[in-house]
Amino acid sequence: MQDLATVLKDFQKRFPALTESRAADAFEAIQQDEEVKAFFNDNQAALKPDALVVSITDLFEFVREKKRVKEGKQALYPGYHPRLVLEKGYPHVAYEPSEDTKKALRQAALLKSVAVPKSVAKADLNQIVSEVQDDEGRAPAVAAVVATFSALVNKENQRGTNDDFVPGVYLSGDFGIGKTYLMGALANALAYNGIGVMMVHWSTMIERLKGSFGSNGDQSLLDMIDEAKKAPVLILDDLGADTLSSWSRDSVLAVILEYRMQHELTTCFTSNFDLDSLEKYLAQTRDGQEPGKAARLMQRVLFLSKPVAMAGKNRRLDR
């Protein structure tokens, strides 16, 4: 292995901005780092004789980035921690995601959203639970969502032995009281626990489906409906916000809910309508009143979810 003078000289060539004294300090930090020492000790039989000088930049980066992460400073790769790995006889620095980053990656892989507000991405169910204890208007809704979450996680943990259907929540209430945020927190928590979930803003989904006509044929439309039909957990947000047509009711909503009922897939809803108002909404299309079709759809909504009313002040006005 090279002597200290040779290593420092090469180190300064690679980092010309460092003075000789600063290079010496950096090299000293590398030598004194416990993880570096343990790495060289554990891998001494596999390391090349010139491993220190050849990999000095990686070792310097490892020590520097580890210190930045520890001190809460801006790191080279935010959300990732450095570690040393052995490659062809030389130490190299690699990066592994922090627990928060792993959480975000899990959620990204298992959570699909369509036109969901940006703020919902950070919705935390635990935080909502801790804040809601004295809020009579929101507490029953939060309790219902937590119960659904717990039942789904329990079912996931007992996969193969527990096939019980877990109904979702039909969450109704006025504008801006946090229905979407609460359901977003549920979606985030489910994804973090390994459960696939799709959260869709209903009227935006309908507009996108309409826009798919004449572009890629009907395939994109069929794909989106199929995803909504088969998602392990589906959250239809703001149901009733659109102007209902017989097509969106009969060819989209009815198809999705029928499949999910037949396959007992957990489905949640948010709406400004209570159940009576929802039935009236579903009965009225541009073609006139069709109470029979509305009643049929309501049976599916009631099979798939339990109604819970949510109350509170309009939080959007407080921003």
The per-residue pLDDT for range 212-258, each reduced to its tens digit, is 766 555 666 678 889 999 999 999 999 988 888 888 999 999 999 99
Please state, in angstroms and rounded to a whole number, the distance separating the CA atoms of residues 85 and 43. Answer: 10
Please state, in angstroms and rounded to a whole number, the distance separating the CA atoms of residues 264 and 257. Answer: 10
The pLDDT, as a whole number, for residue 318 is 64
- Fill in the amino acid letter for 33: D
Question: What topology is assigned to 101-318 in CATH?
Answer: Rossmann fold (3.40.50)
The Cα-based distances of 279 to 176, 282, 284, 296 in angstroms read 22, 5, 9, 10
Structural contact between residues 261 and 298, judged by C-beta atoms closer than 8 angstroms? no
135: Cβ contacts below 8 Å, ≥ 6 apart: 312
Closest to 131 (Cα-Cα) out of 139, 123, 140: 139
Q: Note down pLDDT in tens along the chain; length 319 residues.
A: 444 456 556 666 666 665 566 666 777 788 788 998 899 889 989 989 888 878 888 998 999 999 998 888 888 898 899 999 999 999 999 999 888 888 778 777 888 888 888 888 889 999 999 888 778 889 999 999 999 999 999 999 888 777 899 999 999 999 889 999 999 999 999 998 889 999 999 999 898 888 776 655 566 667 888 999 999 999 999 998 888 888 899 999 999 999 999 999 999 999 999 999 999 999 987 778 899 999 999 999 999 999 999 998 877 666 5
Q: Where does the chain hold its CATH 3.40.50.300 domain(s)?
A: 101-318
User: Helix 179-192 crosses helix 99-110 at what angle (to 10 degrees)?
Assistant: 110
Residue in the structure block whose two tokens are 């609460």? 182
The pLDDT, as a whole number, for residue 171 is 97
Residue in the structure block whose two tokens are 């790191």? 75
Count, residues in the chain: 319
Q: What is the DSSP secondary-structure string of 194-241? A: T--EEEEEHHHHHHHHHHTTTTBTBHHHHHHHHHHHH-SEEEEESTT-
b/e 27-65 (16+ beta carbons within 10 angstroms → b): beebeebeebeebbeebeeebeeebbbebbebbbebbbb
